Amino acid sequence: MDSPFGLLAELTYRCPLACPYCSNPLNLAGYQDELTTGEWLRVLTEAEDLGVLQCHLSGGEPLLRRDVVELVAHAHDLGLYTNLITSALGFSRPRAEQLRAAGLDHVQISIQADEPTVSDRIAGTPSFHRKIEAMRVVKELGWPLTMNVVLHRHNIDRLADVLALAEEVGADRVELANTQYYGWAWRNRDALLPSRAQLEAAEAVVRTAGERLRDHMDIIYVIPDYYSRYPKPCMGGWASRQLTVTPNGDVLPCPAAQSLPLPRASVREDPLARIWAEAPVMTAFRGTDWMPEPCRSCPRREVDFGGCRCQAFLLTGDAARTDPVCYLSPDHDLVARAVEAANADSRPSDLPLIPRPHQLHAPGRHPGRAGRTASGAE
């Protein structure tokens, strides 16, 4: 594609949760100087000019931005389809009604498990009941609702009950996404990676539920990379369909790419169209010319595009290597050893999780409106 289809607008990395699988950067200090309202309005306009059709408002927790309603209204006026990706903490009925009036099209709410004790333990804060109430508000106000559940060793055995909860709240779509190992999830990989037996049981549950609910609810199940024979394409191909703008204005081809040793590109310095077309962070792995063997001569090179650059970098230290998930990769043993450890009889059953620190406030600027500084939090 010559232009991106979707924009992930990461409005802030501040978040009331402390999920141990969070993929946001480990070093949050570099993202405290958040874009002002005026800067975000310009980014949205430039995105629409570039050809973007969908705008996903995310974080952290996007509801911690005071200007989120104004941003939704502007995106709606531009003709963009808007999706709020939220923990639902801060999603009060008055706020929801403001977002509805502003033209918000869709709401995606994350939940950590089907039961309060487990969900709150994983989230690091009491949140389960507020999430359920927010889902009810979403349905009462007539929005389509996606329920997102990140799966891992500590909740994947509860999948049947998770799907029952999705039915109960009237979710139109359920995303069951096995953990991607970036950020805090990378630090917690050994504790989060499920066993093969857990995955086989989960896949059976998904198949059964998919057949039963196919006329009522879409179920999207994303298997973990580490158990795949081939890697997934990075966002449909590096910088081909999607782009991400981080809270401080950096532009990336995917949410995890800030970890890569590539020159930064910022909307504070260049127009979005120029960044998309020319910035090294966008062009470095676009297409197939950059590929090493075995990708270069592989018939799948335009199917999976060599896999995930961020995963290759984390595992090998070289972003240009074939994704080690691929069984053809010369580094595949790095993944095979992790899978072997996850399935070993000697593996401790209670490996501790390192929670992501809570971050609701930070000492940097958090503009809530153009031209003046505010805390950004409700």
Burial class (CB in 10 A: 0-12, 13-18, 19+), 338: middle
Strands 251-252 and 106-110: unpaired
Q: Is 15 annotated as a binding residue?
A: yes
- Say which amino acid occupies 172: D
As a whole number of angstroms, the distance between CA 121 and CA 135 comes to 20
Q: Is 22 annotated as a binding residue?
A: yes
**What is the CB-side half-sphere exposure of residue 160 using CA atoms within 13 A?**
6
Q: Is 308 annotated as a binding residue?
A: no
Beta-ladder partners of 55: 7, 82
φ, ψ for residue 140 (rounded to 5)? -65, -30
Burial class (CB in 10 A: 0-12, 13-18, 19+), 346: exposed
**Number of residues in the chain:** 378
As a whole number of angstroms, the distance between CA 112 and CA 239 comes to 30
DSSP calls for 22-75: --S-S-GGGG-SPPPHHHHHHHHHHHHHHT--EEEEESS-GGGSTTHHHHHHHH
Known binding residues? 15, 19, 22
Known binding residues for [4Fe-4S] cluster? 15, 19, 22
